Amino acid sequence: MNARQEPVALMPSEWLEAVMQSSFNEVYVIDRNSMRYLQANEAARTNLNYSAKALNKMYLFDIAPGLDAATLKQVLKPIDEGKRKNVVLKTTHIRKDGSTYPIKLRFFQVEDDGHEDVQALIAVGYDISDHENLTRSLELSEVRFRAMVSNAPGLVYQFQQRKDGSLAYLYLSEHCHALLGIDEVALTQEPARFNSLILPEDLPSYIESMRKSAADMSAWNWEGRISVDGWEDVKWINVRSKPRLLENGDLQWDGIMTNITQSKEQQAEMARSRQQLAELTSHMQNVKEQVQARIAREIHDDLGGNLTAIKMALTSLSQQNSTTEENKALEQKISYVNALVDRTFEAAHRISRDLRPSILDLGIVEAINWQAREFEKQVGIPCDVTSNVEEIDLSAEQAIAMFRIFQETLTNVGKHAQASQVTVQLTQDDENVQLVISDDGRGMTKKDRLKPNSFGLRGMAERAIALGGELSITTGARGGTTVTFNISLEPT
């Protein structure tokens, strides 16, 4: 093949002319011997930015500099041998401005009727820039996807529920065996093997969570335990995915399974620690109340007895004194000591009552009412108490806890609430007792409850938890604070 041989002019047939004029792809007529362009359609001229006259002076290798004669000969060999009607070659074209673009050329060989000894090639070119850009983007996306999957802290998967009810795993990442003890191929071939790993008591919740996700098209989030044969252990896993309905009616979830055994064990340990702390708190509260009760009794019995004896002695001494001027001064001193003993009596009674209110012996209902009246006297804020029962059979620990919570709440109202009214509701049903204390003050914000020195609120919460009760503190829409304490009645 002589690439620079002067070609014989060829007259394209009518069908070729029609194809060249109507095609959006590049179409070239090339002299088979010289590889010179005989004709190029408008699409080719526009893309290359060459005029028809300029292209007629150029050769295939001018526009495709990366292509050589030997390679082209090898590509065209199936046509020369009559084995194929056309062949395809991928190469790069260079435009007039020096820019390049990838192109796929499909070569056909035709003969001109007027020159039977001369052959021409028709090359139809397809600009594959978009295709190659898309391919590169897909390859990059694939690389990124695999990088993310390989570093994901779990098993990435695609799971389908088909219209006929069958299940299938479309994709399983390389972490499959590490998490489930089954490789990707085996689980893909037998999707039901996953259900067989789930502990029987956890399987119903797994099936129900999948059903709900499918019905509501909501996120699927399930936690449960699996047991892998040969590993002799049970692990917790979390299944988290989002569903989407495919065009063919199948439902597909894309998500991730993770091993949450460690976090579950930590939660269990925290729960155990919390329970131990609650038991310790309850024990300390009981010991504290017992000590306070003992001190209250000693104050009442010992100190009260001694004060009574002093009072009697003073009375006797006063009666023995004459009315002489000399004894009038002594009488004044006796009167002063007598008044001091009375005040000491009152202080001892108050301290004893604070340590262990004897009013609790009359029941929690009477104790709540008494404390409300004391609050009204001391603070001056009306406190209205209502109860649906006259007596409530609480254990000593429960009664003390409820009373102390009530006391602490009223103390907080008096100090901080700036309230003008307090209402108290004490109710009992078959299983529970509820105490609700509401005020119309300025309310309590979350920030107030989280203050580092909010020991009173923490003490209330700890008392409730220690007895298995519930304590909530809420702020009303119109201000004010409501404290609610619920506790279960102990079985009789």
CA 482, CA 475: separation in Å to the nearest integer?
Answer: 6
Mean pLDDT on 468-474:
86
Q: What is the pLDDT of residue 101?
A: 93
Q: Where are the beta strands (DSSP E) in 260-387?
A: 383-387
Write out pLDDT tens, residues 104-125. Answer: 999 998 765 554 555 789 999 9
Residue 298 confidence class, pLDDT cut points 50, 70, 90? low
Q: What is the pLDDT of residue 285?
A: 65
Mean pLDDT on 258-285:
79
In this structure, which amino acid lies at residue 244?
R
- Whats the size of the chain, residue-wise? 492
Mean pLDDT over each residue of the chain, to the nearest integer = 82
Nearest to 171 by CA among 188, 149, 183, 195: 188
The more confidently predicted of residues 367 and 303 is 367
CATH match for 14-133 among 3.50.50.60, 3.30.450.20, 3.40.190.80, 1.20.1440.130: 3.30.450.20
CA 245, CA 425: separation in Å to the nearest integer?
Answer: 53
Cβ partners under 8 Å of residue 300, min gap 6: 348, 349, 352
Nearest to 92 by CA among 82, 80, 102: 102
Q: What is the pLDDT of residue 228?
A: 83
Examine the pLDDT at 295 and tell me if it is beyond 50.
yes
Mean pLDDT on 242-260:
92
Cα within 13 Å of Cα(184), Cβ side = 12
User: Residue 358 carries which DSSP code?
Assistant: G
Write out pLDDT tens, residues 407-422. Answer: 889 988 998 888 999 9
Q: What is the pLDDT of residue 337?
A: 80
CA 132, CA 103: separation in Å to the nearest integer?
Answer: 10
User: Token pair 């155990």 is at which residue?
Assistant: 272
Mean pLDDT on 54-78:
93
Examine the pLDDT at 156 and tell me if it is beyond 70.
yes
Q: Per the confidence metrics, is the pTM higher than 0.75?
A: no
Yes or no: say if 259 and 239 are a contact pair by the CB < 8 Å rule: no
Q: What is the pLDDT of residue 356?
A: 67
The more confidently predicted of residues 461 and 172 is 172
Q: What is the pLDDT of residue 198?
A: 94
Nearest to 159 by CA among 107, 205, 209: 209
Examine the pLDDT at 404 and tell me if it is beyond 80.
yes
SS3 281: helix
In this structure, which amino acid lies at residue 457?
L
For the beta carbon of residue 208, count every other beta carbon within 10 angstroms: 11
Please determine whether the domains at 14-133 and 360-488 fall in the same fold group of CATH. Answer: no
User: Token pair 């979350």 is at which residue?
Assistant: 446
Examine the pLDDT at 46 and tell me if it is beyond 80.
yes
CA triple 420-426-428, angle to 5 deg: 165
Tokens of 150: 């390989």
Rounded (10°) CA dihedral 308, 313, 315, 316: 140
Q: What is the pLDDT of residue 9?
A: 43
Mean pLDDT on 59-84:
93
Examine the pLDDT at 332 and tell me if it is beyond 80.
no
User: Residue 106 carries which DSSP code?
Assistant: E
Residue 3 confidence class, pLDDT cut points 50, 70, 90? very low
Write out pLDDT tens, residues 7-33. Answer: 444 444 555 665 566 678 899 999 988
Longest alpha-carbon distance in the chain: 168
CA 456, CA 460: separation in Å to the nearest integer?
Answer: 6
User: CATH says 360-488 is which class?
Assistant: alpha beta
For the beta carbon of residue 351, count every other beta carbon within 10 angstroms: 15
Cβ partners under 8 Å of residue 248, min gap 6: 163
- Burial label, 482 (beta-carbon count in 10 A; 0-12, 13-18, 19+): middle
What would you report as the CA-atom Rg of the chain, rounded to the nearest whole angstrom? 48
CA 389, CA 377: separation in Å to the nearest integer?
Answer: 25
Q: Locate the domains of the chain by residue range.
A: 14-133, 152-259, 265-355, 360-488
CATH for 152-259 is 3.30.450.20
Examine the pLDDT at 445 and tell me if it is beyond 70.
no
Residue 361 confidence class, pLDDT cut points 50, 70, 90? confident
Q: What are phi and psi of 108, to 5 degrees?
A: -125, 145
CA 387, CA 365: separation in Å to the nearest integer?
Answer: 8
Examine the pLDDT at 100 and tell me if it is beyond 90.
yes
